[in-house]
Structure 1
């Protein structure tokens, strides 16, 4: 009996141990399987991350072709950070730079040049057009029959209309005041300094409604002559200027169409008609401002259209320049109130010369060549300032990319070489333009315009 019991116990223990062993083996196998799966997934994730990193580094960077000469430098579209000091907008600039993919370690000069082209597209400055120098000579030499443009001849009456952008974006502040406040201040000063015999008018647009889609129809129909063409009256002009604040959309085309009606009584044959269009951006009301400008220029009004881009971006500059060109007018970018006032002052000087002629006063003898040379020096200094700003910004951008591990040490050296080549181009162009303009200063307007357009006409 004891023997049977002993055998039974042995069999029971054997079965129990076998079951436990089987369970342990199953658990261990499952754990091993889970661990293998986890390692496989981790490896796959790492592979995908590495592949994504390689794809990011291998992205094709799109950018316009780099300028290679004076003409292409002048026609190149200014970058989004044109006119901006790196340190003043460091966060936004470095956020944009961080979006660029890191170059691969093995990437050489060809890939770096594509990257460099992208940097130039971000920081390229808006270099001044030499055609603007000649246009300013016309204004300064107003009344000279040699100009050969009837719009610049002395006539019986002198009329100026200011068409002012009152869209919502004019609320942006510069040096503690809104752009609208600065514009109003400049208009007051300009109008007060006009000869009492001259006429002035003020039209505003985009001053009704808001920038919301629901107000678009209302705002886009808002273009109003708040101060009709008449001699300067301080109280009336201030009353007009106090009637609006920056508000809605930007109906430039409609305002140019209405401006033609404002001058209905002032035929260009007997009137010198000046229009200042001040805007901080593009047409947003689906109009065609280029067509409207062309039709205005072809009308009996025969105005001199001066388009002023007030703290405008590169897209705005491009459109506003086209508007000026369509009317055979002038375009200027201004970044602050001093530059805005300087543009208005040019017309005030023209008006003073008109008054001198009108009352048969003895004209002041001005050495025309010296006067032209002064504007050339100013042009050269402006060009040099923009070149200097551009190079400083590019230097800081290259340093950031290097510290952010987006470019290697060797690639940084290639960037430095390209940076020197860029400076050589801008410096050479600056001196070339300066010397050419000095020679042109002693020639007739017909010869000047022919030569300057053949050599430097933007977009040709």
Structure 2
């Protein structure tokens, strides 16, 4: 009897010991995961890594401009370095840039995805047309119309044009198989030849001496020269002038605007319509203040119409050149081809033709007829649509690349696609709003147009 009891006690002790060993073993099938180990869940064939709550968050900081919230901020938003071309036309460069961006697949939260999205948008943001520029074109087209309460746009006894041309080293870059400098020279030749015989033209060139080196900066920044004095068109003299310089050094925009005022000295705004074209492919690099210089030039006694042309210019250059035009109450346009450059010059040629008709006593009713405004509005709408379509397509490609290279998770990709859809809707809404605004403005007087455009698209910038 005692033996039986001892046997049962021994058996119970062994079983209890075995249960303790198995229950505490790290090899148990029911053992919990290590708290510091990341969970992995499969989603659509991709593993999304989700950090545990006690894991230190990964900080990601990506600097980018604030996403636009109205039409004015869309227009003023810095143009992206990969704008203007489709993804596949610059795929290698874009993907190299995307490789520099950090992976956020280990990061939770929507805030970092929004930050990432803002960065992507800043890379491919397009330059959207400004409704105010359309109205400015209408005013130029209505040159001489007595309803335009701007003395600069009234017919005067004389018509003078001065072109201020950038000859800095960057103008040696090729565009469509030809240097930008040669394209600019060809455009100037065509424009000058098209002017009426009684009109006068001049050519000032800057940055044509020295090199882009620091040692040559002082000399190059002082190189702003009137190669063709204000005079009637002379084909041989102008060609000789154009043959005297090639792209070379720095970019003294401010100094050139100051000297342009001296070029036109004596040609007061009361008796002269003075038009200045500033053509540049970049920003001021000679420590001058081109905005201040443009403002002083515009307010001088020569009272010129100032047209600023950004020739294949980058985002930084566009921002500064727009500011120069705005300070002078002038117009700004970006051109990326010789055809577009010639179209900008063509506006002045059309103004000069109207002036010549006025001098010859032609019927003012025909002279003062505004060009078909609806055509320019449709052109505006089509251009906006092309820009938004290009931007959205490039964003789609970038998001897909980030997803394929595991920089973002499936859920993060979905969030970005939502942002993309929202942006597309907003851009379409702004396009239609601007289109309707312009249609309304087309029926108003110049004075009413000026007031409305300032309120809608300038004050909110």
The CA deviation at 1:433 is 0.3
Q: Distance in 2 between matches of 1:395 and 1:231?
A: 54
2:298 is aligned with 1:290 = no
- The answer (yes or no) to whether the contact 1:203–1:226 under 8 Å persists in 2 is yes
The CA deviation at 1:369 is 6.7
RMSD after superposition:
1.8
Q: Distance in 1 between matches of 2:301 and 2:75?
A: 34
Match of 1:255 in 2: 256
Out of 176-185 and 360-369, give the one that drifted further. 360-369
Q: 1:251-288 deviations in whole A, cap 9, x for unaligned?
A: 00110010000001211110000000000000000111
Q: 1:304-323 deviations in whole A, cap 9, x for unaligned?
A: 00000001011101111111
2:322 is aligned with 1:327 = no
2:117 is aligned with 1:116 = yes
Secondary structure of the 1:93 match is: helix
Q: 1:412-456 deviations in whole A, cap 9, x for unaligned?
A: 111111111111111111111001100100101111111111111
Regions of 4+ moved over 6 Å: none
Q: Distance in 2 between matches of 1:94 and 1:459?
A: 35
Q: Distance in 2 between matches of 1:151 and 1:361?
A: 21
**Higher helix fraction: Structure 1 or Structure 2?**
1
- The answer (yes or no) to whether the contact 2:201–2:232 under 8 Å persists in 1 is yes
Match of 1:36 in 2: none
Taking the TM superposition and a 5 Å limit, the aligned residue runs for 1:33-44 are: none
Taking the TM superposition and a 5 Å limit, the aligned residue runs for 1:347-426 are: 347-363=348-364, 365=366, 371-426=372-427
Judged with a 3 Å threshold, the aligned counterparts in structure 2 of structure 1 residues 269 and 333 are, in CA distance, closer, same or farther, namely same
Judged with a 3 Å threshold, the aligned counterparts in structure 2 of structure 1 residues 169 and 293 are, in CA distance, closer, same or farther, namely same
Match of 1:315 in 2: 316
The CA deviation at 1:72 is 2.2
Q: How many residues align?
A: 408
- The answer (yes or no) to whether the contact 1:108–1:411 under 8 Å persists in 2 is no
Judged with a 3 Å threshold, the aligned counterparts in structure 2 of structure 1 residues 55 and 370 are, in CA distance, closer, same or farther, namely farther
Secondary structure of the 2:303 match is: coil
The CA deviation at 1:64 is 2.0
Q: Distance in 2 between matches of 1:199 and 1:266?
A: 11
- The answer (yes or no) to whether the contact 1:56–1:101 under 8 Å persists in 2 is no
Q: Distance in 2 between matches of 1:56 and 1:237?
A: 66
Under a length normalisation based on structure 1, what TM-score does the superposition of the two structures give?
0.86
Q: 1:88-118 deviations in whole A, cap 9, x for unaligned?
A: 2222211111111111345243321111111
The CA deviation at 1:68 is 2.3
Q: Distance in 2 between matches of 1:348 and 1:55?
A: 66
2:356 is aligned with 1:345 = no
Q: Distance in 2 between matches of 1:428 and 1:374?
A: 21
2:59 is aligned with 1:79 = no
- The answer (yes or no) to whether the contact 1:57–1:104 under 8 Å persists in 2 is no
Secondary structure of the 1:430 match is: helix
- Bigger Rg over Cα: 1
Taking the TM superposition and a 5 Å limit, the aligned residue runs for 1:141-156 are: 141-156=142-157
Under a length normalisation based on structure 2, what TM-score does the superposition of the two structures give?
0.86
Match of 2:201 in 1: 200
